[in-house]
């Protein structure tokens, strides 16, 4: 028997969960189909940063609205928990990018973000354990921090289910059906489903899912290694940091660990469901060599664990939001490792696009699928270059 829904979302990561939440707020009853279990893909391996510094204003808007309207007020807005912890956030840019950083901070201040340029000396006052001789200035967001991506996803889904959504796990999509040029439904390992709207939020599997609708998206699998280090006993408080001078980022993980990862050496084009969870050979050596330049006390640390996550990476390392292929088929994928912090506002904007024909929360037109064919790849107003090297 065919099961019918108002819409079907493929993928129960944080983006699919956000879209489901916002669809139910508009009165629709969607199904969320997940090939494994909730947050088993990129979301479950997310570093969970909640920061607003980007070199593209539309991304800063998505993160600002996600922070102010959701993360900072989660229980009242969504219900449940997201695990947000305010640590402050510091963006350290290379000296040759100082003018670009100032331009980005000015744009962000115009959006309403609480951010400013501070000197290396100010950074040292904030974090006495930092070495600061590799840079002169940084961008500082006192309100930012990190959250728990799995908690966030489950909160979105719990609220969506209370409002009529259906979650079906261990349900892999095997075919997508159309009629007269528009979406009509799909086949899965758990039977047939019909719906006039299908949203591809399948993360690292999104290119494979899109091909079922005869849509080719320029997406490659990106594999990212993340380490959890024991916090050195003499280390004081640290904020969340993206440090382009040493090509890595890090943040506290509770009170006893530090989450850290590099911005380079990530593997590409592995199968999205590859079983190998082994980090790249030089990952730990290169990460520690970089981290001690900023936090010398890392030498007192030790490795707790490593996890390996995968996401879909686009040519401009920016998300794809919008319609593609048959009428009623939409993409919310290619998040390129930066989707978590934008997911609340991006989900709201996607639902507006689907139901109203235009997004209002944030204009997501720049993220349209057609930009690749148009040669209109996204570039920041004051760009730093690709995040992932």
pLDDT of residue 104: 98
pLDDT band at 270 (very low <50, low <70, confident <90, very high): confident
On whether both 253 and 202 belong to a single domain, the answer is no
* Three-state SS sequence of 3-38: EECCEEEECCCHHHHHHHHHHHHCCCCEEEECCCCC
pLDDT of residue 275: 59
Domain residues for the domain of 321 are 3-45+150-219+316-374
On whether both 140 and 226 belong to a single domain, the answer is yes
User: Region 225-231: what's the mean pLDDT?
Assistant: 96
d(CA 253, CA 47): 10
d(CA 211, CA 378): 24
pLDDT of residue 111: 98
Q: Say if 71 falls within a structural domain.
A: no
d(CA 298, CA 291): 7
Q: Say if 62 falls within a structural domain.
A: no
pLDDT of residue 349: 98
CATH number at residue 190: 3.50.50.60
Q: Is the pTM of this model over 0.75?
A: yes
On whether both 154 and 303 belong to a single domain, the answer is no
What are the start-end ranges of the E strands in 48-135?
49-50, 85-86, 89-92, 116-119
- Percent over 70 (pLDDT), the chain: 99
pLDDT of residue 387: 83
pLDDT of residue 1: 81
Nearest residue to 382 via CA among 151, 54, 71: 54
In this predicted model, what pLDDT tens digit does every residue of 325-372 receive, in sequence order?
999 999 999 999 889 999 999 999 999 999 999 999 999 999 999 999
CATH number at residue 275: 3.30.9.10
On whether both 124 and 176 belong to a single domain, the answer is no
User: Region 181-189: what's the mean pLDDT?
Assistant: 98
Residue 268 has pLDDT above 90, yes or no: no
pLDDT of residue 276: 63
User: Region 272-276: what's the mean pLDDT?
Assistant: 71
- Percent over 90 (pLDDT), the chain: 91
């Amino acid at each position: 028997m065919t099961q019918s829904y108002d819409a079907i979302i493929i993928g129960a990561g944080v983006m699919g969960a956000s879209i489901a939440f916002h669809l139910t707020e508009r009165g629709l009853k969607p199904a969320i189909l997940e090939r494994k279990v909730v947050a088993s893909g990129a979301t479950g391996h997310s570093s969970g940063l909640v920061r607003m510094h980007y070199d593209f204003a539309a991304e800063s808007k998505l993160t600002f609205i996600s922070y102010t309207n959701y993360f900072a007020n989660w229980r009242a807005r969504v219900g449940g928990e997201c695990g947000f912890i305010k640590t402050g956030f510091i963006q350290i840019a290379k000296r040759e990018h100082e003018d670009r950083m100032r331009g980005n901070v000015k744009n962000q201040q115009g959006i309403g973000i609480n951010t400013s340029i501070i000197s290396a000396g100010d950074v040292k006052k904030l974090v006495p354990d930092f070495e600061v001789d590799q840079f002169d200035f940084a961008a500082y967001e006192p309100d930012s921090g990190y959250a728990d991506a799995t908690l966030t996803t489950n909160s979105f889904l719990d609220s969506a289910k209370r409002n009529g959504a259906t979650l079906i796990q261990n349900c892999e999509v095997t075919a997508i059906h159309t009629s007269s040029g528009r979406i009509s439904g799909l086949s899965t390992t758990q039977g047939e489903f019909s719906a006039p709207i299908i949203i591809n939020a399948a993360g690292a599997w999104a290119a494979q899912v899109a091909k079922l609708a005869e849509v080719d998206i320029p997406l490659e699998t990106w594999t990212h290694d993340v380490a959890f280090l024991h916090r050195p006993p003499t280390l004081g408080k640290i904020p969340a940091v993206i440090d382009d001078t040493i090509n890595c980022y890090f943040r506290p993980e509770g009170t006893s660990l530090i989450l850290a990862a590099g911005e380079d050496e990530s593997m590409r084009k592995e199968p999205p469901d590859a079983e190998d969870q082994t980090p790249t050979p030089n990952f730990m050596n290169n990460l520690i060599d970089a981290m001690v330049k900023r936090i010398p006390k890392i030498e007192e640390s030790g490795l707790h664990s490593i996890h390996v996550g995968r996401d879909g990476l686009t040519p401009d390392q920016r998300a794809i939001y919008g319609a593609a292929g048959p009428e009623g088929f939409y993409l919310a994928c290619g998040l390129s490792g930066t989707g978590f912090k934008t997911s609340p506002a991006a989900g709201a904007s996607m639902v507006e696009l689907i139901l109203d024909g235009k997004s209002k929360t944030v204009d997501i037109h720049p993220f349209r699928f057609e930009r690749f064919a148009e040669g209109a790849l996204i570039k920041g107003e004051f760009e730093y270059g690709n995040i992932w090297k």
